Amino acid sequence: MILFSLFFVSANAQSEDSLFIRKLADEILLNSKAYENLRVLTKQIGGRLAGSPQMVKSEQWGLKAMQAAGAGKAWLQECMVPHWVRGGNDKAYVLANSSKIAGKKPGAKKELDVIALGNSFGSIKPLTAPVILINNFEELEEKKDSIKGKIVFYNYKMNPTYVRTFQAYGEAGQYRGAGPSRAAKYGAAAVIVRSMSHSTDNNPHTGSTRYIDSFPKIPAVAVGLRDADWLSDLLQKGNASVTIHTHGKFLPDTIGHNVIGELEGTEFPNEYITVGGHLDSWDNCEGAHDDGAGCVQTIEILRAFKALGYQPKRTIRFVLFANEENGLRGGNKYADEAKAKGEKHIFALESDAGGFTPRGFGFNVSAEGLRKIQGWKNLIAPYGASELTQGGGGADIGPLNRTQGTPVAGLQPDSQRYFDYHHARNDVFEAVNKRELDLGAVNMAILLYLVDKYGL
Ligand SMILES: [Zn+2]
20-44 pLDDT, tens digit each: 999 999 999 999 999 999 999 999 9
The Å distance, Cα 354 to ligand 1 centre, comes to 8
Residue 26 CB partners (closer than 8 Å, separation 6+): none
Segment 96-105 shows an average pLDDT of 63
Q: Give the separation between CA 177 and CA 373, rounded to whole angstroms.
A: 34
Q: pTM of the predicted model, to two decimals?
A: 0.95
Taking the C-alpha atoms of residue 275 and residue 55, their distance in angstroms, rounded to an integer, is: 20
Average pLDDT over residues 47-56: 98
Question: What does DSSP say about strands 241-245 and 91-95: parallel, antiparallel, or unpaired?
Answer: antiparallel
**pLDDT-derived band at 95, boundaries 50, 70, 90:** confident
Ligand 1 ion: residues within 5 Å (CB): 290-291, 352
Residue 323 Cα to ligand 1 midpoint, Å, equals 10
Query: Is pLDDT at 213 greater than 70 in this prediction?
Result: yes
Q: Cα(376)–Cα(450) distance, rounded to whole angstroms?
A: 8
- Give me ligand 1 centre to Cα 363, in Å: 17
For residue 290, how far is its CA from the centre of ligand 1 (angstroms)?
4
Helical residues (DSSP H) of 328-454, grouped into ranges: 329-340, 367-374, 377-380, 398-404, 418-421, 434-454
| Ligand 1 centre distance from Cα of residue 420 (Å) | 14
Separation of CA 282 and ligand 1 centre (Å): 9
Ligand 1 centroid to residue 8 C-alpha, Å: 44
Please give the Cα distance from 287 to 324 (Å, whole number): 12
Cβ contacts of 172 within 8 Å, gap of 6 or more: 156, 157, 158, 159, 194, 196
- 238 Cα–ligand 1 center, Å: 39
Going from the Cα of 324 to the center of ligand 1, the distance in angstroms, rounded, reads 7
How distant is the alpha carbon of residue 17 from its chain centre? 32
103, pLDDT greater than 80: no
Whole-number percent of the chain with pLDDT over 70: 95
Separation of 313 CA from ligand 1 center, angstroms?
30
Q: In terms of Cα–Cα distance, which of 235, 241, 246 is closest to 114? A: 246
Does the pLDDT value for residue 5 go beyond 60? no
Query: Which of 318, 378, 364, 325 is CA-nearest to residue 456?
Result: 364
CA–CA dist 141, 135 (Å, integer): 11
Question: Stretch 439-452: mean pLDDT, rounded?
Answer: 98
Whether residue 34 contacts residue 298, with contact meaning beta carbons closer than 8 Å, is answered with: no
Give residue-wise pLDDT tens across range 193-202. 999 999 999 9
Give the distance (Å) from ligand 1 centre to CA of residue 297.
14
Whether residue 99 is predicted with pLDDT greater than 50 in this model: the reply is: no
**How many angstroms does the Cα of residue 454 sit away from the middle of ligand 1?**
30
- Residue 345, beta-bridge partner list: 272
Least confident residue range of 1-10, 51-60, 87-96, 224-233: 1-10
Distance between Cα 109 and ligand 1 center (Å) = 35
